[in-house]
Amino acid sequence: MNFIGKEIEDFKVNAYQDGDVKQVTKSDLLGHWSIVFFYPADFSFVCPTELGDLSDNYDEFKNAGAEIYSVSEDTEFVHQAWHEKSEEVGKVKYPMIADPAGKLARFFEVLDEDAGQAYRGVFIIDPKGKVRSYTINDMGIGRNAKEVLRTLEAAQFVAEHGDRVCPANWKPGQKTLKPGTQLVGKI
């Protein structure tokens, strides 16, 4: 299924954040850009490196007007225990969503039903709740927070400047392209 332009459905889940459990709903993802970051499991191996990398870059995501929501099939209580035990995960300030029933993982089609775990999906959602970018990796392939941030910034640029597009490796402030016949065969 193609998720580009698809609006996220209503949901209500628990999340662990800042030493407390809170509810997160679709309305929490509206009005700002959101990064929904699925990972297979707490107390695992690649996952803490990814969550730590996101945490190390969290201020840049916030400065770009985005919130990060990490998601696994673990409960909010397992998230809390992991946050308290792991040095890398202990840095996390963003909501760690609990999806033990698999509702979000099924909606985004990242749930490996046999394993009961989510593949490594990253979904960039615009302020209206529509998916603008996504990638899904196999369980053993970690992701890079800087690339997620770069993709977010490109999605934001394209949303603001609909007549311009971002070439490979584009970063804010760099040259963009205006599609048209004048570029055909010249790039």
Question: Which residues are known to be catalytic?
Answer: 47
Query: In whole angstroms, what is the distance from residue 107 CA to residue 71 CA?
Result: 13
DSSP helix, strand, coil percent of the chain (3-state; round to 5): 30, 25, 45
If 0-12 CB within 10 Å is exposed, 13-18 middle and 19+ buried, where does residue 94 land?
A: buried
> By the 8 A CB rule, do 14 and 90 touch?
no
Sheet containing 20-25: order of strands:
20-25, 12-17, 96-98, 66-72, 33-38, 120-125, 131-137
